[in-house]
Amino acid sequence: MQQQNWLIATLGSLVVVGCAQAQYGDISDLKLAKPEDGQHVKSVPPPKGAIVLFDGKSLDGWVKTNGKSAATWKLIDGAMQVQGGSIMTRQRFDGSFKLHVEFRVPYMPDKKGQARGNSGVYLQGRYEVQVLDSYGLKSQKNDCGAIYGVAAPKVNACKAPTIWQSYDIIFHSPVCKDGKKIAHPRITVFHNGIKIHDNVEIPVDTTRGGIGGDPCTPGPIMLQDHGNPVQYRNIWLLPLKTSLK
């Protein structure tokens, strides 16, 4: 009898675990290249001097891309999930800064390519670091970690879908003189702590889906709604004293 009760309790908890995973995709059928691909990245708290853009509790710092309407993304367990259009920070940034973003993509095994966990992090609303489920692929210029249409990541540092990942992005805004751009922006990106771009020049004024505008003006951090329920958490920005090198 005791054994039976134990069995029921075990089955009960398995059902609960199964349901929780099913909401974001169960990756138990996915063959991982290495065990850490299935382990969440360690969350990094904002350092001293950082501007907290999303603390998991409130969307107050974010608006829709019309600049006016309140963001409508869904708050879930300290994260926000894509819903109802791309969003951007009220605050605009220029100069040099480090941006920390944690994200995860749903498991969508029946979808392929750009339809699989697509979103994106746009610096100044103009330059996209792609968010996508590119796990195990040979990364192209539109895969996860790519500067969209500009540069493929040097290595594919993706974790499996449903697993929390991070970007640490060091961004130097374009250099302008008398209102004219004289040097392109530059970007260094660490994906899950691995350097995937090293001071790459972005020779365009906006990548696809960006808000564009004068590259000599400050811009927001924008997160893309590409129709997939991608989640974000713990987003902060640290202004840097260094200028474009």
Q: How far is the CB of 117 from Mg ion (least distance, A)?
A: 10
The residue whose Cβ lies closest to Mg ion is 120
Q: Which of 207, 189, 208, 206 is nearest to 198 (CA)?
A: 189
Sheet of 87-89: strands edge to edge? 62-64, 87-89, 222-223, 119-123, 127-131
- Other C-beta atoms lying within 10 Å of the C-beta of residue 229: 19
* Residue 185 or 209 with smaller CB distance to Mg ion: 209
Query: Which positions ≥6 away from 147 have C-beta within 8 Å?
Result: 127, 128, 129, 130, 141, 187, 189, 197, 200, 202, 207
Instruction: Say whether residue 125 binds Mg ion (CB under 5 A).
Output: no
Q: In which residue are the tokens 């879930």 written?
A: 76
Q: How far is the CB of 186 from Mg ion (least distance, A)?
A: 21
Residue count at the site for Mg ion (CB under 5 A)? 4
Query: Which positions ≥6 away from 74 have C-beta within 8 Å?
Result: 80, 81, 83
* Residue 53 or 121 with smaller CB distance to Mg ion: 121
* Residue 103 or 190 with smaller CB distance to Mg ion: 103
Instruction: Say whether residue 229 binds Mg ion (CB under 5 A).
Output: no
* Residue 96 or 128 with smaller CB distance to Mg ion: 128
Q: How far is the CB of 84 from Mg ion (least distance, A)?
A: 17
Residue 100: phi and psi, rounded to 5, are -110, 130
Piece of the chain touching Mg ion by CB under 5 A; list 57-65, 120-128, 197-205, 228-236: 120-128
Question: Measured between alpha carbons, how far apart are the two ends of the chain, in Å?
Answer: 72
* Residue 65 or 96 with smaller CB distance to Mg ion: 65
| Exposure string for 184-194, b = 16+ CB within 10 A, e = fewer | bbbbbbbbbee
Q: How far is the CB of 122 from Mg ion (least distance, A)?
A: 9
Instruction: Say whether residue 106 binds Mg ion (CB under 5 A).
Output: no
126-145 residues in contact with Mg ion (CB under 5 A) are 130
Q: How far is the CB of 219 from Mg ion (least distance, A)?
A: 17
168-227 residues in contact with Mg ion (CB under 5 A) are 224
* Residue 18 or 227 with smaller CB distance to Mg ion: 227
Instruction: Say whether residue 120 binds Mg ion (CB under 5 A).
Output: yes
40-79 residues in contact with Mg ion (CB under 5 A) are none
Q: How far is the CB of 221 from Mg ion (least distance, A)?
A: 14
Piece of the chain touching Mg ion by CB under 5 A; list 6-14, 35-43, 100-108, 122-130: 122-130
Q: Which residues bind Mg ion (CB under 5 A)?
A: 118, 120, 130, 224
